[in-house]
Structures are given as C-alpha cells and as structure tokens.
Amino acid sequence: MQDGKRKTATRQLLGACLAVLVTLGAGAAQAQTAADMDARLDTLFGEHASYRGFFDRLKQAVAAGDKAAVAAMVDYPFRTRLEGKAATIRDAGHFIADYDRIITPKVKDAVSRQSYPELFANWQGISIGSGEIWFGGVGKRNDVKITAINH
C-alpha cells in the first residue's frame, strides 16, 4: 500500500473507532430512571422500598439540619475521622455533638446534589456522591443505616 493510501486508511479506521466510542459513550451517559434504580436494588438486596425511603428521609434531614434525625440513621458504633484522627462515635448523643465535624459542607453538598436514580449501588451498599455517605442493610433485621461518612 502506498504511504498516502495507508495514512488515509489509518485515518478512516481511527474515525470509525472514534464514532463507535462516541456512540457507546452516549448510551452510557443516558440518565438512569428511578425504575432502573428500583430494579438494581431489587436485584442486589431483594427489595428497594426501604432503601429509597431511607434516602429520601436522609436528604430531608440533612437539608433541614435535623441532627437528631441524621444521628438516628447511623449504625453505631461508628468509625470516622475527625480533624484527621480516627474516632469512634459510640451513640447518637456523641454524633450530634460532633455533627458539624462529621456532616461537613462537602457531605451536605453531596447529599443535596444526589438524585435517587443516580445513586451508586453494589453488594457493599449504596453510595451518595463520590462516596461521601454509604448506607445499607445491617444486623439480623437488615435495618437500613449509614455505615460510612467520608468527609
């Protein structure tokens, strides 16, 4: 093959590959629906209603600054980092006392921006934002609780 034809063929092949990637990316970028998330949670955890309700209550509580409501949603004892040091929060009272150091502006922002259809879910639980909050079923009764907060 002549050098000019080889360059043209290479450009055409690269163009076709780029077109395929753009098409695949466009499909992946389509918004997931609430029904899609319901189905995902049903597959992962056997049901979705308790997780969806928990998410809605958490969003409302964080938006309202309802420290007691958020504290009631945590699985204790709760390990976190406060001012760069590992800390164990033993109960809701201690969580409330440290609320502003745990539920930081970054965490509040992640919760406020998160929509139900766009949650991340895997076998470990459900994540808000970029992992700022993780929640899932815990204990014998599989109660939905916050299991991690990363600020």
- Judgement on whether residues 91 and 23 belong to the same structural domain of the protein: no
Average pLDDT of every residue of the chain: 86
SS3 30: coil
- Domain total in the chain: 2
The pTM of the full predicted model, rounded to 2 decimals, is 0.78
At 10-36, the pLDDT tens digits run 454 444 444 433 334 433 445 599 999
72-122 per-position pLDDT tens digit: 999 999 999 998 899 999 999 999 999 999 999 999 999 999 999 999 999
Decide the pairing of beta strands 85-89 and 78-82. Answer: antiparallel
Element (H, E) at 113: helix 105-113
Same domain (yes/no): 36, 23: no
Q: Are 19 and 36 in the same domain?
A: no
In this structure, the answer to whether residues 55 and 91 fall within a common structural domain is: yes
The answer on 135 and 82 residing in a single domain is yes
Q: Whole-angstrom Cα distance, residue 81 to residue 14?
A: 48
Could you list the residue range(s) of the whole structural domain that residue 8 is in? 1-30
Clarify whether residues 9 and 59 are in a common domain: no
